[in-house]
Every structure is written in C-alpha cells, then in structure tokens.
Amino acid sequence: MKEREVIIIGGGAAGLAAAVACKQKGIEDILIIERGDYLGGILQQCIHDGFGLEKFHTSLSGPEYAQRYIDQVKEKEIPFLLNSMVVNLTPQKEVVVANSNGLQHYRAKVIILAMGCRERTRGAIGIPGARPSGIYTAGVAQELINLKNYMIGNKIVILGSGDIGLIMARRLTLEGAEVITVAEKLPYSSGLSRNINQCLYDFDIPLLLSHTVVDIEGNGRLSGVTIAQLGKRGGIIPGSKRKITCDTLLLSVGLIPENELSREAGIVLDNITGGPQVDERGQTSVPGTFACGNVLQVHDIVDNVSLEAEYIVEGVARYLEGKLIKEQEIKVELGEGLRYVVPQKLISRKDTIFSFRVNQPGEKKILVFEDGKKVIKKKSLRRVNPAEMVRVKLSSSELEGIKRLKVRLV
C-alpha cells in the first residue's frame, strides 16, 4: 500500500485547481488520478470561448483555460496518473486504482473528490419510440466533433436547452449541419441567456419552450421525431403533435454528479444536488474526504469550479494541520424559493461562501439569511434564474454566535 498525503480523484477543472492550490499551501505529497488519457477533463472538448473572465480577466476557450492549470501542475511537478480509473474508495481513505499496470493500492490522509458529472440520457427521461442510431447526449456529440473529428449528422433536433445543447447548436451549424429546432420542456430555458442569444438567435434557430419529444422513429438510423407542446401542468396539449424529419437527436437534459465512488465510501449525498453533503469547506460526512466542482454541485461557469476547488483546499490544509476544529454543528435550513444550498451544514463560524439555485425565474428578489427571527444578512438580486448559480459570502462576524441558520428567497 502506497501512502500519499492528498489524493485527488479526477484531473479536470476542479482536480487541477485543487492540486495547484494544495501545492501553494505547502502540501507536497499529492497525486492526481485521471481516467482519461489527458488532463483538463471536459474543458478539452469545450472549444468555444468565454471561459476565464473572472479567474483570468480574459475570454479563453476551454483548452486554453485547462492549459493554464496543466502548465502549473507540470511546473510544480505535481504527480498525476492518466488512463487510471479509481475502482474503489473506502471510508479509511484507501483507494484502489486500475490501469495498464494492474491494480494499485493507495492510502491518503485526505481525499479530494473531483470526478465531475455525467449527462442524463434518453433512458433517464424515458422518451418512447424506436431505438435507432443517431441519438446522442450533447456532451458526447461535442466530444465526437471537437476531439474525435467525427461528424454526427446533418439534420438535427435538440431536446433540452442546457448550455451544452445551445453551444452544440452553434457548433453544428458552423460545421455545416442544419439545426432545425431546440425544444425545451420547461416554460423557460435552462441555459444562460447569452448562449440563447449567440448560439440560437444568431443563426435563426427557433427555441420552442414548453415542448418535448414524444416519439422517435427510425429503422437503423433515426428518421424523425414527434414533438408536442406541453400545458401548464406538463401534459401534452391535444392536437399539438408535429412530426419533424431529421437524422439526429441531441439530448441536453441535465447533468448528474458522478458519485458512485462516494456512495461506496459511505459518504452521505444530497438528494437534490446529487453531490455529497458538505460543511463550509467542502468536507463530506467522511472526515478528511472533501469534494469540489461538478461532483459536488453542477456549475454553470468553470471559473466558479476553480474558485470552489481553491476554497475547499483551505479546509484541506487546516485538516492536515489538525486545526479543522469542530464547533457546534448547524444545519443550513432551506426556505421558500430555493432548490438547494451548499454547504448543507456549518461546523465552524468562519467566512463561508454559500451557493444556491432558485426554483424559478424571477426579478427583484431578496435572499434572506436568518437566525431564528433575527435577520443576519440580506442580499438583493436584480434577476434570478434556475440556470444561474447564486453565490453569497457570509463573514465570520456575520456568522458569529448564531444558533440556527435559515435562508430563503422573498
């Protein structure tokens, strides 16, 4: 059994930023374990620009953003394994890795979970109909087109208005395909407004809100889909069904944090985020095991993933120094208007960044933090949208002496 101070599972945006931050904190004995054959994770296939505005104050493409961290990892001589899959993780922080050298066993003082997320598939949303080829999740299509040089189709319908679907609508158009429409089940888009503007409207691609795919046809290859309009309660509006001839269907219908390993290690998960329940520094229910990035909660901006990774490393460093002292534990209670909050609990009263997603779009809202009847902090939000994560920092002086903590949107 090989011993390491910190093992980071995943070499994507979160894992790389966590590794660099660990080294900057003086932690020397780090190992990044990556299952793919390159570092950078999903960033390598996100060739569009718009990354890094907050972190680097310039607009970068995904590979450029990743390279900034990869360069630092190499410069700081942080060890990493590629083509190496963690197949087992225990509460004792033992890690079993499978790669071309067989199985290797490690034990770490700290584990940082940075496995990212995966896409929901056709099976997850239960679209009826035939089972032809030509149905891809948006991220897989992105990988095939941007990394493998494989064009996926010519006449395309996209279901779901998540950001990857929107980005792919533009990408496919610029690659010469015809994107017929983007259908979204909800009455509002689940992607960022700027992506609707520059990826759909720029190319006159219609966005059909409150629409979904209700049937799939095709023998061998997809030959068409039927879309229908949904009423206020989500039922199909009679007479609204319409067949669209196409050869490809892209699904951009949500992301699921990849927590099979966490579950095996007995880590308590949050039913809503799909990620581990954590304290204010990203520590899970297993002491010394931390989580950051999309495995903790799905982010819409990579800069926030890097910032979150750097932020939880504060906790990692304190844990290794034996200074992560547990004061009275408080559960963060969720009030109206909000879908989730991270962290789910506080074990100290140090400065804490809270992340939220709201239930539905709205304007002129106020986020209220309360200790019983006492208001601790209020934050006004000009516009809220479930597609956009809200991040708010509470200082140690604001949190000092609180008995309870409830947050709600009014």
Partner 1 sequence: MHREFICILCPNSCRISVEYEGTNIKNIKGDGCPKGKDYVKNEITNPLRVFTGSVLVESGNFSLASVKTPVPIPKKYLKEIGEITHCLKMKAPIKIGQVVAQNLLGEDIDLIATRKVNIINK
Nearer of residues 15 and 50 to partner 1, judged by Cβ: 50
Using an 8 Å Cβ cutoff, are 346 and 407 in contact? no
Considering only 123, 126, 149, 238, the residue that binds partner 1 (CB under 8 A) is: 149
Please identify, using beta-carbon distances, which residue of 127 and 167 lies nearer to partner 1: 167
| Region near partner 1 per CB under 8 A, out of 14-22, 58-66, 319-327, 391-399 | 58-66
Encoded amino acid at 156, one letter: I
Residue found under tokens 């947050």: 407
Residue 67 beta carbon to partner 1: minimum distance, rounded to whole angstroms: 5
Q: Which of 148, 364, 373, 403 binds partner 1 (CB under 8 A)?
A: 148
* Cα separation values, 156 from 75, 225, 262, Å: 43, 10, 37
Which residue of 5, 25, 36, 67 would you call a contact of partner 1, by CB under 8 A? Answer: 67
Number of H helices, E strands in the chain: 9, 27
User: Least CB distance from residue 304 to partner 1, whole Å?
Assistant: 9
**Does 59 participate in binding partner 1 (rule CB under 8 A)?**
yes
Check: CB of residue 320 under 8 Å from CB of residue 109. yes
Under rule CB under 8 A, residue 193 binds partner 1: yes
Cα end-to-end span (Å), the chain: 53
- Which of 33, 31, 18 is CA-nearest to residue 98? 33
Q: What are phi and psi of 357, to 5 degrees?
A: -130, 140
Task: Rule CB under 8 A: choose which of 196, 295, 346, 399 binds partner 1.
Answer: 196
Give the integer Cα–Cα distance in Å for 366 and 388: 15
Q: Are 294 and 255 in contact (CB under 8 A)?
A: yes
Distance CA 134, CA 230 (A): 25
Whole-number minimum distance, CB 194 to partner 1, in Å?
A: 4
Q: Taking CB under 8 A as the rule, does residue 197 contact partner 1?
A: yes
| Omega cis (within 30) before 206 | no
**Contact pattern from residue 290 through residue 309 relative to partner 1, giving x for each residue in contact according to CB under 8 A and a dash for the rest:** ----------xx--------
Residue 167 or 332 with smaller CB distance to partner 1: 167
Question: Counting contacts by CB under 8 A, is residue 53 touching partner 1?
Answer: yes
Binding site for partner 1 (CB under 8 A): 38, 44, 47-50, 53, 59-64, 67, 145-149, 173-176, 192-194, 196-198, 202, 300-301, 383, 388
